[in-house]
Amino acid sequence: MGELVAADLDELRAFTARLRCVEAGGDAGLGIDLLDAIETLKSVGCAVQAVLADDVATSIRADRRVRGLPRSEWDRGIGSQIALARRESPNRGGRHLGFARALVHEMPHTLALLRSGRLNEWRATLLVRETACLSAADRGIVDRRLCSDPATLGRVGDRGLIARAKALAVELDAAAVVRRHRKAVSERRVTTRPAPDSMAYVSVLMPVEQAVCLQATLGRDADSLIATGNSGGRTRNQVMVDLLFERGTGQTAAGSVPVAVNLVLSDETLLAGGHEAAHMQGFGPVPAGIARHLVACAVASDTETSLRRVYSCPQSGTLTAMESQSRTFPKSLRKLIDLRDRTCRTPWCDAPIRHHDHIRSRRKSGATSVYNGSGLCEACNYAKEGDGWTARPVHNPGRTHLIDLGTPTGHHYRSAAPPLPVPARLRAS
């Protein structure tokens, strides 16, 4: 069996190499056929990934059980290993594993449709998601009624698929659907993520009745301002955004809101009109002109502003030291690591830093130092402490801080810290 799997792996890699060579040939009909065939290939690949992910999890759990590890350790870090193999965040890895277990053990008809290429990964995910509150038996009924015949969902759009799955879920176990709604309400939250052009999305997860009320109220008041000539030339959408900000903060300008914002930029960008982008902690790159504007607005307002000097290598941008005195924050190793790492250091994970971790653990005489420290999110730190994981800092002279992360299956991944902003004239010298 091992030889067969190895042969399959070699064949898959050879086919992947051939597929890389496919180019447009000017034949529209052939192009459409290729698009269709590749879409089928993606679905088949997703099905195989689900089967393999479940098998990996089952194998690791069985091995840990045989070795006498406590039950609490059986699942630790498995989702993270799957995420690393798929080049995605640990959070997504956990979702992929849950998706795989549902398909393999509870939804065989959905898995069969996916394996045949008649259902894509997103639509299969919707079916798994909408039946997550049901028992395995009821989930199997939804699976059979919607996916045993490919024609049932053959021409149905995503909304129609969701509606059918929800209707069946309510029919089979209305109480479970109600419990799921109550749990969802308890998980309401506000999140922010970067958008193009130095903008940002603020997402609010709330009960639908509150969301509809909020949207309607902002729209009504925006229409009123426009109708009375008090919009200041702003569009309806612009007025709605401004109203949301004013009502959420009690202020009309961001500079008046009492929060701490860390903006890292080179001295040339700040003082000499340089073009090197700044970095706003929790957001990402900010163009030099906008960074200078933010600083100028903060200084001109009543906002408390402080300047902390950070020293970096002129060639690599590696963080080397930080000024010891600051009126706003005390000198600390955590702040140094936060500025260097920005987000969780696990590859493909960009979650906020929650834990400051010894790369080589203190149990193995790891030093408490910047070199042996890393910023991790909570989930990644717990996964790293699981059975079979290894981590070590890699000597990387003249370049940014480097970590080697080893998984229980013997695979290794490297994580390099992002460089700090350094004036282009210094990097070129």
pTM of the predicted model as reported, rounded to 2 decimal places:
0.73
- Number of residues that this document lists for the chain: 429
Find out whether 357 and 373 touch, Cβ atoms under 8 Å: yes
Q: Rounded to whole angstroms, how far apart are CA atoms 348 and 415?
A: 9
Residue 88 pLDDT grade (very low, low, confident, very high; cuts 50, 70, 90): very high
Round to whole Å and give the CA distance between 217 and 206: 16
Q: Which amino acid is at 358?
A: H
Q: Alpha-carbon distance 420 to 279, whole Å? A: 8
Q: What pLDDT does 323 receive? A: 47
Nearest to 304 by CA among 273, 271, 274, 327: 327
Mean pLDDT of all residues in 191-199:
84
Q: Using pLDDT thresholds of 50, 70 and 90, give the confidence band for residue 329.
A: very low
Q: How do beta strands 263-264 and 278-280 pair?
A: antiparallel
Number of neighbours of residue 229 by Cβ within 10 angstroms: 8
Which pLDDT does position 420 carry in this prediction?
72
Residue 418 has pLDDT above 50, yes or no: yes
Cα–Cα distance for residue pair 138/176, rounded to 1 Å: 11
Cα 18 vs. chain centroid, distance in angstroms?
A: 31
Q: What percent of the chain has pLDDT over 70?
A: 82
- Average pLDDT for residues 339-343, to the nearest whole number? 87
Comparing 414 with 182, which gets the higher pLDDT?
414
Average pLDDT over the chain, rounded to an integer? 84
> Is the pLDDT score of 256 beyond 90?
no
